[in-house]
Amino acid sequence: MSTHEPQWNPIFIVGAPRSGTTLLRNMLNRHPAIAICRETDFHRLVYERRRSFGSLGDLRNRQRLVKEYLATPRIQRLRLNLPALEQTLLREGTGCEALFASLLRFYAQVHGKRRCGEKTPRHALFTETLCEWYPGARILHILRDPRDVVASLRRMPWADRNVLGNARLWLSSNLAAWRSRFRPQYLMVRYEELVASPEQELGRVCAFVGEEYFPSMLVPNQDPNTQQPWYRRAEERLTTERIGKWREQLPLEEAALVDWFVGRHLHTFGYGAVTHPPARLAIARDVASTFFQAARRQAGEFPAAWYRFVRSSHLAKEETAKERFRSRQLASYSDV
């Protein structure tokens, strides 16, 4: 099947991390016709490295890339038949566009679904390319209050602990996805509305992607393959308790930093400032913290960074080094 035929209409879920992308993925994945793949990080691992491998029209280049990509921990966690997937990608993946399409189609076929899709939050940076590659695609941009996102990110072992660094991640992710807002493939979904009125919002999402809404999409289910606690939480029953949780988790001074950094974009995305401007000393402290933590993270991730910039085609070694660093940070995770 050609990726340009009308039947080819994948669904992509994007947004800032901790905005509800996993929650929305789980809901859509319960649809009898839709299979939404877990995070592939295709943009960072494949598309940004395409020059390291050369033209995928050359079978030898394709073999090198497919071997490396399928050896990464994130692809292995998909629990697919890797030899069969490898043969499919080698046969069909003659370019980045075709390779990604082949991966998603394979995932859907394995799960007996006729619609496929994928959820990687950072693919918010990639939506314009996805829309151009796949004219029938649907982009679901999920948005959440930046203060709640920052408060949640600070508890994640893989994220920064400082306010401004996480506010920057929220802003850059959402502005990138927002660039596709005039395209017919784009739909914004607010986290707050999704958890407060799930039937209505999921009905709207289903209508947008061209599928019937099923009440079973709201029935929680536990995936036995889910390991991390923040992913397991997204499989639980819906609750509105997380809306405005930042009021308990962020001191007003830190909430003020978020408001100040996001600035006018608070109103762009429909959220209002709730604090007075922060003191200059508070800004200076958090800026210094941002640089310090960035340097500390780079030092901790040095092996992965070395592979990325010096041996950029060694995808599996880079991802494995990242996973080792993150596993050491898991002890600091607080599931509150």
pTM greater than 0.85 (yes/no): yes
pLDDT of residue 211: 97
Residue 69 has pLDDT above 70, yes or no: yes
pLDDT of residue 313: 76
State pLDDT tens for residues 115-133. 999 999 999 999 999 999 9
Distance (Å) of CA 291 to CA 35, 161, 162, 294: 40, 12, 10, 5
Residue 70 has pLDDT above 60, yes or no: yes
Nearest one of 230, 253, 191, 228 to 336, comparing CA atoms: 230
CB 106 within 8 A of CB 80: yes
* pLDDT band (50, 70, 90) for residue 21: very high
pLDDT of residue 150: 95
State mean pLDDT over 32-53: 94
Give the HSE-up count for residue 277: Cα atoms under 13 Å, Cβ half-sphere.
Answer: 5
pLDDT of residue 226: 63
State mean pLDDT over 101-124: 96
Distance (Å) of CA 93 to CA 49, 99, 192: 15, 4, 39
Q: Which domains does the chain have, with CATH numbers?
A: 11-330 (3.40.50.300)
* Average confidence score pLDDT of the chain: 87
State pLDDT tens for residues 204-236. 999 999 999 999 999 987 776 666 655 666 677
pLDDT of residue 291: 73
Cα separation, 11 vs 114, whole angstroms: 12
Comparing 320 with 2, the larger pLDDT belongs to 320
Residue 2 has pLDDT above 80, yes or no: no
Cα separation, 211 vs 77, whole angstroms: 28
State pLDDT tens for residues 248-300. 999 999 999 999 999 999 999 999 888 788 888 888 887 887 777 766 666 66
pLDDT of residue 203: 97
Residue 42 has pLDDT above 70, yes or no: yes
Residue 329 has pLDDT above 50, yes or no: yes
